[in-house]
Amino acid sequence: MRVRLRNPDRVETLAGPLTVAEVLERLDLSPHTVLVISGGQLVTAGHTLEDADEVEIRPVISGGAGAAPRCVWVDPGGDARGCRAPAVIEEPRHRSAWCPEHFVEHVQQQIRKTIDHPPARPPHERMFSYGDRLLVAVSGGKDSLALWDVLLDLGYQADGLYIGLGIGGYSKRSQVVCEEFAAARGAQLHVVSLAETYGYTTPTGAQASGRSTCGVCGLSKRYAFNKVAVDHGYDVVVTGHNLDDEAATLLGNVIRWQDPFLARQRPVLPATGANQVRKVKPLYRLSEREMAAYCVVRGIDYVVEECPLVDGNTGHELKATLDALEATSPGLKAQFLFGFLDKHATKWDEEAGDDPPAGLGACETCGMPTTGEVCAFCRQRDRILAALPLLSADRPQADLPVT
Amino acid sequence: MRVRLRNPDRVETLAGPLTVAEVLERLDLSPHTVLVISGGQLVTAGHTLEDADEVEIRPVISGGAGAAPRCVWVDPGGDARGCRAPAVIEEPRHRSAWCPEHFVEHVQQQIRKTIDHPPARPPHERMFSYGDRLLVAVSGGKDSLALWDVLLDLGYQADGLYIGLGIGGYSKRSQVVCEEFAAARGAQLHVVSLAETYGYTTPTGAQASGRSTCGVCGLSKRYAFNKVAVDHGYDVVVTGHNLDDEAATLLGNVIRWQDPFLARQRPVLPATGANQVRKVKPLYRLSEREMAAYCVVRGIDYVVEECPLVDGNTGHELKATLDALEATSPGLKAQFLFGFLDKHATKWDEEAGDDPPAGLGACETCGMPTTGEVCAFCRQRDRILAALPLLSADRPQADLPVT
C-alpha cells in the first residue's frame, strides 16, 4: 500500500494486509498524535488496510486512539450511549468513540455549550445570539474552517475574514482554500491583503522592524480583525483558538505569572469602548485532533502544512510539555484550562484594571481604540514603513518558500 | 586524562591538554547541567585540563556555566561587585560568578534572607530564631547536608535526623555519610530505622500496600520528622527542598489546580495544633546546582547517586520541562516560584480551610494529630503489616540493588 505522510511530506510503500496499528508501529508513529485516512475516511487502530489502499497519515498535536471500534460515548450524566456503528475516532479524555454522524454531533454540542454558557461571564449571558452578525477569522487551517462550518450549520449569520499575510506560497494556498470553502457554501468572505492595505507583509514587516514574525503577524491580525468588523458593522469577531492553543498559552502565562494576560485569557472579551468589537473563542473545549477529525469527516479541505515562519515559537514547546503529561493523564489539559476558567480566572479580575481602561481614546492616526496617542499597530506600521526602503533589494522576502 | 562521569558511572580517557568546554563537547554534555571537578576544586569552562589530571563530572539538574571566569556578582541594588579572583561557578539567573569564598557567602546570604523574611507570612516574622531548637531532616544528599552545614555555621542550634528507609546499599551509604558529617562537626544526629521502629521498609511497604514507593516513603518520612521532633522537644523541622524541587511541585499543582496543595505550598507551615511542629524550607531560593556546588566548595561528602526507586516519578518530568524553559530564559524558574509565593499564594488562602482544621484531634493509635480517628500513617502502617506476611518469601525486597 502507498502511505503518504504529511508535514513534512514523504511516501512509504508497505505490503498489506496490515492493521492501522501495525502500519503506525512500522513507521514508528504514535497513534495518539496522528489521524489515519483511507479512501477519504478516518480509520481506527484495528482497521485492516489492503495492498491496494491509498493511506494518508496526518500529524495532529494531541489526543488518543485506542482499540475501541464502536460508536459509544459518555453523556453529561455519565451514562454510556451510542449507536454501536463502527467508530472513526476515539478520545480517551471523553472515554468515548464516535461514528462520523455522532462525532459531528459531539463537536456541535461542545460548541453549542460554549456559546450558550461561556465561563467567567455573568449567568445566562451567551457568547452571541442569532441576531448578531459574526465575523469568523479564517486562516485556511482546520480550526477556523471547521468553526465557520459549524456556525453556518447551526444557522448563525457568519461571514469570513481572510488576511493575506504575504507568506509566499503558503499564504496563496491558504487563500484559495478559504475562497473555495466560502464559494461552496454561498458564504461571504472578506479578503484583506496586508501588503495592499498596509504596505508590508509578515516577513518584510518583521525584517524591517526587527521584531519576531509571530509578533508582527499577531498584532497585525488582531488589528485587522477588529478594523474590518468595525468598518462593516459586525457585532462579534470569532476566532478558532482550540483547547491545545489555549492550554499552552495559559501554561506560558502561569509560568511567568503574566497578570495582565491572565486577566484577559477568557473565551469572551467584551468590547470596552467605541470602535471595539466583542471577541469570542467558541472552540476552547475541543482539541486540535478533534478539529482535524471534524474536517476529515465533513470533507473540509484545509491547509495541513504549518506556517513556514513558526520555527522557535515557544508555544510549540509548551504544547509538547502538556502533550507529554496528557499521554499519561488523559484529560489533564482540559482540567488545567477549564479549572482555570471555571474557578480561578476571577482571582485575576483585579489585575485587568478598569473596564473600560482609564484613558481609552481614539488613535490619532487611525481612530481605533488605544490608551496612548497612537495605537500599537500604527506605531509598528510607521516603524516598518520607515525602515522598508532601507532593506537590501536582493533579499526582499527573507528566506521564504515561494512555491 | 581520566574523566570519571557520575550517575550512571563510567570512565573515559582523553588526551590533554583540553579546556573544560572541549571535554564537555567531546562527551556530548551540556555545561548547563553538570559540575566539573579537578583536584577537588570546581573548574569553569575556560580552565585547561592536562593529561595527568583526574577529572570528575557530576550531573546536576539545572543552572548554567558561561565563560565568565572572574568573581563578579550583582548586589541587591543592581551594582556589580566582586574580588575578581578566579571564579569556580557561574549562575546566569544571578548574572554572577563567584570565587569559592564569595560563593559560600552568597549561599549563606540567600538562606539568611529566607530565614529572616519568609514570603506569605506576617511582616517581621522569622522562620525561626536563635532560641529555637531545630531538627534538620538529612538524607545524605547535597541539599540537606549543605543546609545543616550552613545552619551550624550561622550558629543555630541544629541537630540532624536520618531516617533509614531500608533501600539496600543506597540507604546504608547514605547513613554512613550523615554519621561522618555529624561526627566531624560534633553535631547530634538522630537515626530512626523504619524497619526497626515501624516494622517495614520503603520497598516492602510499597509491595505490601500496593502503593507507589514514593507515596509510602513520603508519608513515612513526614510522619517520622514530626514524631521525632515532638518526642525530643524540637521547635522546628527543617527540610532541604530547593528551588528546583519547589518549582516542579508548584508546576504539578498548578497544572492540576490542586487547591489544598497550593494552599499549603509555603516555605513556612506553622504548627496548627498539639503534637505538631512548625515546618520550614530555607533552601527554596537556591537551585540544585548551587547546592551541589556548595558541597564541593566546602568539601562536604554527599551521596551523588539518586534513589534507585525513583523511576517514573513525575517530578522529574516537570523538572525537565522547567529546565528546558530555563535554558532559554534564565531566571524563569525563580520567577515562577517566587512570583507565586510573593504575590499569588494568598489567592489560595481560603482553600486552606480553617486554622486549625475543624475536627483536628489525636490519632487513636499513636496520638499524633489527625482529622480522622486514625491518622493516615497508622492506617497505611496497619495495611502494610497485615499484608507483609503474605508476600512471597523469595522476593522480599523487590528488585533492589543490595550492593
Band of pLDDT at residue B402, cut at 50, 70 and 90: very low
Q: Is the pLDDT of residue B393 over 70?
A: no
Residues A343, B314: C-beta atoms closer than 8 Å: no
Q: Residue B398: what pLDDT? A: 46
Which residue, among A318, A325, A337, would best test binding to B if mutated, counting the most B CBs under 10 Å from its CB?
Answer: A325
Q: Pick the residue from chain B with its C-alpha nearest to A331.
A: B256
Write the pLDDT tens digit of every residue in B139-191. Answer: 999 999 999 999 999 999 999 999 999 999 999 999 999 999 999 999 999 99
Q: What is the pLDDT of residue A150?
A: 98
List the end-to-end C-alpha distance of chain B, in Å, as a whole number.
29
Size of interface A-B (CB pairs under 8 A): 47
The answer to whether A251 faces chain B, any CB pair under 8 Å, is yes
Nearest CA in chain A to B331: A256
Rounded to a whole number of angstroms, the distance from the CA of B332 to the nearest CA of chain A is 7
Q: Is the CB of B336 less than 8 angstroms away from the CB of A255?
A: yes
Among the listed residues B278, B279, B274, B277, the one whose alpha carbon sits nearest the alpha carbon of residue B360: B274
B332 contact A CB<8A:
yes
What pLDDT score was predicted for residue A356? 67
Residue labelled with grid coordinates 546566569 = B92
* Minimal Cβ distance to B321: which of A256, A321, A335: A321
Task: Point out the least confidently predicted range of A373-377, B77-81, B117-121, B262-266.
Answer: B77-81
Which residue in B251, B255, B335 is closest to A256 by CB distance? B335
Q: How confident is the model at residue B120 (pLDDT cuts 50, 70, 90)?
A: confident
Q: Do B257 and A314 touch (CB under 8 A)?
A: no
Residues of chain A contacting residue B248, judged by C-beta atoms under 8 Å apart: none
Under the banding of pLDDT at 50, 70 and 90, the label for residue B9 is: confident
User: What's the rounded Cα separation, in Å, for the pair A376 and A222?
Assistant: 11
Calculate how close chain A gets to B348, using CA atoms only, in Å.
9
Listed as own residue / partner, the contacts of A14-20 with beta carbons closer than 8 Å and 24 or more positions apart are A15/A51, A16/A48, A16/A49, A16/A50, A16/A51, A16/A52, A16/A53, A17/A48, A17/A49, A17/A50, A17/A51, A18/A48, A18/A49, A19/A45, A19/A46, A19/A47, A19/A48, A19/A49, A20/A44, A20/A45, A20/A46, A20/A47, A20/A49
Phi/psi at B98 (5° precision): -135, 150
Tell me if chain B has a CB within 8 Å of the CB of A340.
yes
Q: What distance in Å separates the CA atoms of residue A333 and residue A339, rounded to the nearest whole number?
A: 10
How many angstroms separate the CA atoms of B299 and B146, rounded? 10
- CA within 13 Å, CB half, B102: 20
Question: Residue A157's beta-bridge partner residues?
Answer: A133
Query: How far off is chain B from A280, nearest CA to CA, in Å?
Result: 24
- Whether B313 and chain A come into contact, CB under 8 Å, resolves to no
Q: By mean pLDDT, which of B203-207, B370-374, B393-397 is the weakest?
A: B393-397
How far apart (Å, rounded) are the C-alpha atoms in residues A36 and A24? 9
Provide the chain B residues 252-281 that lie in CB contact (below 8 A) with chain A.
254-257
pLDDT > 50? residue B355? yes
Interface contact flag, A343 B257, Cβ < 8 Å: yes
Q: Which of residues 192-231 of A touch B (CB under 8 A)?
A: none
Cα nearest neighbour of A314 on chain B: B325
Interface test with A, best of B246, B253, B254, B341 (most A CBs within 10 A): B254
Mean pLDDT value across chain B: 89
- pLDDT band at residue B352 under the 50/70/90 scheme: low
pLDDT of residue B76: 78
User: Which residues are registered as beta bridge partners of A164?
Assistant: A193
Q: How far is A200 from chain B (nearest CA, A)?
A: 30
Q: Grade residue B74 by pLDDT with cuts at 50, 70 and 90.
A: confident
A146-168 per-position pLDDT tens digit: 999 999 999 999 999 999 999 99
What pLDDT score was predicted for residue A392? 60
Contact between A90 and A71 under an 8 Å Cβ cutoff? The reply is: no
In the structure grid, which three cell numbers stand for residue A382, read together? 510607521
What residue of B is the nearest CA neighbor of A247? B255
Q: Is the pLDDT assigned to residue B396 strictly greater than 60? A: no
Instruction: Check CB contact under 8 Å for A324 and B317.
Output: yes
Report the share of chain B in percent with pLDDT over 70.
92
User: Is there a contact between B120 and B269 (Cβ–Cβ < 8 Å)?
Assistant: no
Strand A10-13 relative to strand A18-19: parallel, antiparallel, unpaired? Answer: unpaired
For B257, which of A324, A325, A339 is closest by C-beta distance? A339
Write the CA distances from A253 to A250, A264, A345, B175, B243, integer angstroms: 5, 11, 12, 43, 20
Mutate to test the interface with A, among B318, B325, B338, B343 (most CBs of A within 10 A): B325
- How high is the pLDDT of residue B79? 85
- Cβ contact, residue pair A336, B256, below 8 Å: yes
Which residues in chain B have their CB less than 8 angstroms from residue A332's CB? 255-256
- The minimum CA-CA distance between A272 and chain B, rounded to whole Å, is 26
pLDDT: is A36 or B350 the higher one?
A36
- Who wins on pLDDT, A312 or B41? B41
Tell me if B344 sits within 8 A of B337, measured CB to CB.
no
For residue A340, the distance in angstroms to the closest alpha carbon of chain B comes to: 8
pLDDT tens readout for residues B179-234: 999 999 999 999 999 999 999 999 999 999 999 999 999 999 999 999 999 999 99
Nearest CB neighbour to A257, from listed B255, B321, B339:
B339
DSSP state for residue A390 in the 8-state scheme: G
Section B354-363 average pLDDT: 78
Cα atoms in the 13 Å half-sphere on the side-chain side of B202: 23
Helix (H, G, I), strand (E, B) or coil at A339: helix
Tens of pLDDT along chain A (403 residues)? 999 988 777 888 999 899 998 998 888 887 767 888 998 888 888 889 999 999 999 876 433 344 446 888 888 788 888 898 888 888 888 888 899 999 999 999 999 999 999 998 888 899 999 999 999 999 999 999 999 999 999 999 999 999 999 999 999 999 999 999 999 999 999 999 999 999 999 999 999 999 999 999 999 999 999 999 999 999 999 999 999 999 999 999 999 999 999 999 999 999 988 999 999 999 999 999 999 999 999 999 999 888 888 765 667 778 888 888 888 888 999 999 999 999 999 989 877 666 667 778 999 999 999 989 999 999 999 999 999 988 765 444 444 444 4
Nearest to B347 among A325, A332, A347 (CB): A347
Q: What local confidence, expressed as pLDDT, does residue A352 receive?
A: 67
